[in-house]
Structures are given as structure tokens and as C-alpha cells.
């Protein structure tokens, strides 16, 4: 077997639902490791969740093309695997993904990833949008041919025209000394039209508010790296032009960047921000509130925990709230629907979402077809969903297809809220903290366990009457679960 056929390059796959890039959180293997088919090799964070990607081939790891923390586009090579290591050593050693700083010239892979301003030239063979060797069109995995901004590979030793500058100026009369402009690392000044940086670096600079034209690149051919941008954002890199320091600036330094933290918006947090903004300004939200005496429901939970078949199950008030929502949906099916422009899609199944706060941001996994589950099955599903979310292992499939959501703000000691609808859903219920409060019960003021519910709904689908009846039924169940079950089932 030839060396070319032995070495297989594994590209970052499309992880579903139109995701275009992912951040490498951790490599689970290293160069030289022997791996098996379907063995997890890398953990990648997408806009949906963190997932482990398995190997497509068994063999030996020859090269890792991107370090941890790098943002990689779908279809980009991330690892090379020797599928027949027993055939003997390779004729030539594999190259590493990151060129060493002491090499005179960078690798071809690094040069191909450097983005040049569109005015620099035409699209060359092998780049996205241009012809690949043999007349093919280079595309990303999972996507058809597309036209992109013109890119070309800088030629070895070539200097862009606008970057040319005489090495030794002609003798002239003495002139006042002026600051030398920042250079791009290949001998030419940065003129605004030539900034060498990979697309993820440009995106990072935009997120952090860093002007790339003010930086001196430390990468191949003077290209700007992620480290350059991060150092500039932290204030450790000087600006392109010296700034005169005045007494006013000195006195205001305590309110400057040295006391600010810039957190890149990416992954789950970025997707959540986009979804919430789209929902808030697309669906007309209405929120109603209901305060409920849930003393009987809490007593029912205690009796349930005492039963032999429930002793190994974690039973929380959220279980009864979920059951109340599912029964109320059966009585008011229009609540479980989606606005589809010229029609309303009423769904006969309930994929019940539970909002969960994680280290990577807010996620909303859902219990599929929750209305068909028994109370015990629902308890097991909710417990499994919460534990998976806390461990950071929720899959994109678990977060897709939700039809109605509960957000349990009570775990934070909050009474209620005005939650924003997840896109595509028409209702979301906020469940507040259960507190002991004075309450009029049977004509007397007594200490009772009380909670407040907040229901936000899409007013295009759910009018005030329907929303009020749905919220009332949830409250009725929580006020007396046994009576509601007897009356409704």
C-alpha cells in the first residue's frame, strides 16, 4: 500500500442543523497514538452543544492540524490517520499542523489559509469558488459550490505591490523624525487594504473590537494570529500610532481597558443570543401571572416519595409542574403550536423543553413525546435530561424539535419572571420558588406553601382567553393534584 493511500485525512464533519464551524475544546488523542474505529478522538463545541467526534478509521495518528481552542470551519482537515501502521514507516515524516517559528518558510497548508484583501488578485485553482486540480470545484463538506470573496495563495518570496517600499531612501535634507508606520511582517506598511489573517482571526478581532490594521503579525508571512488579537484586546500591544499621554488620560486610566474584561460571544451563548433576539422581536409576547397555594401538591410529593417503587427516584416539584402542563395541553391543544406564516401548525405531540443553565450558557433540551409517558417515566426522563445537561453532554438532537418549555427560575430563589419564547414555540412557563407565606385558607389566615407562575405566549396564536384558561388549569392541578387527575382523566 502506498503512503498516499495509507494516510487518511479526517475533516470536521457537519454536526447537523446547518452548523458551519466548531471550536476544538480538547484532543482525546495525540500524535503516535493507536486508535480504533469509532473511538472518540476530539471534543468540539458548536453553537448547540459540546460533542465528541469518533474516528472514521482505525490506525495511528500521524498529525493533528489544529490546536485546542481553534475555531474550525466544517470540511476543514483536523487530523491525519495512518490506516496501515503495520506496513512499516512512512517514506517521509508527516508535517505538523502548526509551522514552527524557526522555519524559513511556512507550510503550504498555512499559506493556503491566509486571507488576502480582495483587491489582491483572482481566485486561484484549489480555493473555494475556484477550480480545483483536475477541473473540480473546491467546496466544503455538506455544502454545494459557492462564491466567496476572492482569495489567493501568497507566492513564496512575493511582496504585494502596495507593500513595496525602498530599502534605502535617497539622500535628502534632514527632516523631522516621524514615527515609522506599523509593518505587516513582510517588509511593507499596513495600508488598510492588506491585512493577512485567517477568517476565524478576523471574526475574533471583530468580536473583541480590535482593528487588525494596527497590529504587527507574528504568524507566517506576517499574518496576524489569535494570540496577536488577544494580546491587543488585553492592552498589551501598542496601537499603530503613538498616543500622547495627558494628565487627563492619566487620571482616567482607572476606568480604562485595564479594568475591563472582554468575553468572546460564541458557541451556545451566541446561539442563545441570536434566538432570543429573533424571538423577542418576531413574536408578540404577552405574559400572565398566577399565584397558587401548592400545599396539597407538596404533601402529595411527600406521599409519593414514601412509596416503595419511588424510593430510588428523585422527585421534585418540577415533576408535578411538568405533569400539570401536559394535562393542560390536552385540554387546550392550540397552546402547543407553531406560527408558520400563512398557517398555524398544531402539534399532537409534546416535546417538553426544560431550560437549563450550564457553564457554556442556557440550553433547552426536551423530553420527546412527553405526553405519552407515565409519571414514573416522566420523572426518569427529567432526571436524565438534567444530569446530562449538567455534565455538558447534551447532544444537538436532544435540543431540537421542542414544542413547549418550562423554565424553573425557582431554583435560584426567584418568585417568577417574564420568559422569552424559544423560536418556533408558542408558550413558555416560568415556575417560581415555593415559599411559606400567609394565605387565606378556609376563612383563616394560615402559613401555606405558595408559588407564582408566569406564562409567556405568542399573541398571534394564543389570545388572552386561551392563555388565561391554560394557566388556570395548571394552577388548578398544582392546588389539588388528586382532584384534577380524577376530574380530567
Per-residue buried b or exposed e for 231-265, using 16+ beta carbons within 10 Å of the residue's own CB: ebbeeebeeeeeeeeeeeeeeeeeeeeeeeeeeee
Asked about 459 being catalytic, the answer comes back as yes
C-alpha cell belonging to residue 170: 535617497
| CB 417, CB 438: distance < 8 Å | no
The rounded distance, in Å, linking the Cα atoms of 310 and 177 is: 83
The region that residue 302 occupies, defined by phi over 0 for left and psi between -120 and 50 for alpha, beta otherwise, is alpha
- Check residue 459 and report its DSSP letter: T
Number of neighbours of residue 48 by Cβ within 10 angstroms = 22
Distance of CA 449 to the CA centre of its chain: 39
C-alpha cell belonging to residue 196: 493577512
C-alpha cell belonging to residue 394: 447534551
Number of neighbours of residue 160 by Cβ within 10 angstroms = 19
Backbone φ and ψ of 13, nearest 5°: -80, 165
The region that residue 91 occupies, defined by phi over 0 for left and psi between -120 and 50 for alpha, beta otherwise, is alpha
The rounded distance, in Å, linking the Cα atoms of 485 and 487 is: 5
| CB 149, CB 199: distance < 8 Å | no
Catalytic-role residue among 285, 332, 441, 459: 459
DSSP string of 158-202? ---GGG---SSPPP-------PPPPB-SSSSB--SS---B-HHHH
Residues catalogued as catalytic: 459
Amino acid at each position: 500500500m502506498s503512503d498516499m493511500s495509507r494516510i487518511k485525512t479526517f475533516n470536521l464533519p457537519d454536526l447537523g442543523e446547518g452548523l458551519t464551524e466548531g471550536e476544538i475544546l480538547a484532543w482525546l488523542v495525540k500524535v503516535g497514538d493507536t486508535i480504533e474505529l469509532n473511538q472518540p478522538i476530539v471534543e468540539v463545541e458548536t453553537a448547540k452543544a459540546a460533542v465528541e467526534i469518533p474516528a472514521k478509521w482505525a490506525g495511528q495518528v500521524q498529525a493533528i492540524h489544529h490546536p485546542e481552542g481553534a475555531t474550525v470551519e466544517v470540511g476543514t482537515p483536523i487530523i491525519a490517520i495512518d490506516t496501515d501502521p503495520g506496513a512499516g514507516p512512512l517514506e517521509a515524516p508527516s508535517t505538523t499542523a502548526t509551522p514552527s517559528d524557526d522555519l524559513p518558510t511556512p507550510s503550504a497548508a498555512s499559506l493556503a489559509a491566509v486571507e488576502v484583501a480582495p483587491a489582491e488578485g483572482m481566485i486561484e485553482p484549489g480555493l473555494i469558488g475556484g477550480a480545483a486540480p483536475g477541473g473540480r470545484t473546491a467546496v466544503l463538506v455538506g455544502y454545494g459550490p459557492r462564491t466567496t470573496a476572492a482569495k489567493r495563495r501568497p507566492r513564496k518570496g512575493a511582496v504585494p505591490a502596495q507593500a513595496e517600499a525602498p530599502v534605502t531612501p535617497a539622500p535628502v535634507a534632514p527632516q523631522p523624525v516621524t514615527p515609522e508606520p506599523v509593518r505587516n511582517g513582510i517588509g511593507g506598511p499596513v495600508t488598510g487594504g492588506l491585512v493577512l489573517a485567517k477568517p476565524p482571526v478576523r471574526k475574533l478581532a471583530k468580536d473583541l473590537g480590535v482593528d487588525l490594521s494596527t497590529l504587527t503579525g507574528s504568524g507566517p508571512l506576517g499574518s496576524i494570529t489569535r494570540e496577536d488579537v488577544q494580546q491587543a484586546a488585553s492592552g498589551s500591544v501598542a496601537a499603530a500610532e503613538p498616543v500622547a499621554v495627558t494628565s487627563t488620560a492619566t487620571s482616567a486610566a482607572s476606568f480604562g481597558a485595564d479594568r475591563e474584561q472582554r468575553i468572546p460571544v460564541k458557541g451556545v451563548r451566541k446561539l442563545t443570543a441570536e434566538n432570543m433576539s429573533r424571538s423577542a422581536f418576531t413574536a408578540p409576547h404577552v405574559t400572565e401571572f398566577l399565584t397558587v397555594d401548592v400545599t396539597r401538591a407538596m404533601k402529595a410529593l411527600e406521599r409519593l416519595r414514601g412509596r416503595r417503587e419511588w424510593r430510588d427516584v428523585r422527585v421534585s416539584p418540577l415533576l408535578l409542574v411538568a405533569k400539570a402542563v401536559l394535562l393542560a395541553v390536552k385540554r387546550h391543544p392550540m397552546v402547543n403550536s407553531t406560527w408558520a406564516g400563512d398557517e398555524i401548525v398544531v402539534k399532537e405531540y409534546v416535546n417538553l423543553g426544560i431550560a437549563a443553565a450550564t457553564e457554556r450558557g442556557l440550553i433547552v433540551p426536551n423530553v420527546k413525546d412527553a405526553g405519552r409517558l407515565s409519571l414514573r417515566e416522566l420523572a426518569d426522563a427529567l432526571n436524565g435530561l438534567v444530569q446530562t445537561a449538567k455534565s455538558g453532554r447534551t447532544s444537538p438532537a436532544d435540543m431540537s424539535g421542542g414544542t413547549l418549555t418550562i423554565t424553573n427560575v425557582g431554583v435560584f430563589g426567584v418568585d417568577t419572571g417574564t420568559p422569552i419564547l424559544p423560536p418556533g414555540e408558542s408558550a413558555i412557563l416560568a415556575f417560581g420558588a415555593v415559599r411559606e407565606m400567609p394565605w387565606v385558607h378556609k376563612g383563616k389566615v394560615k402559613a401555606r406553601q405558595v408559588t407564582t407562575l408566569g406564562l409567556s405566549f405568542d399573541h398571534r396564536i394564543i389570545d388572552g382567553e386561551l392563555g388565561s384558561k391554560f394557566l388556570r388549569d395548571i394552577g388548578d392541578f398544582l392546588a389539588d393534584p388528586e382532584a384534577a387527575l380524577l376530574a380530567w382523566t
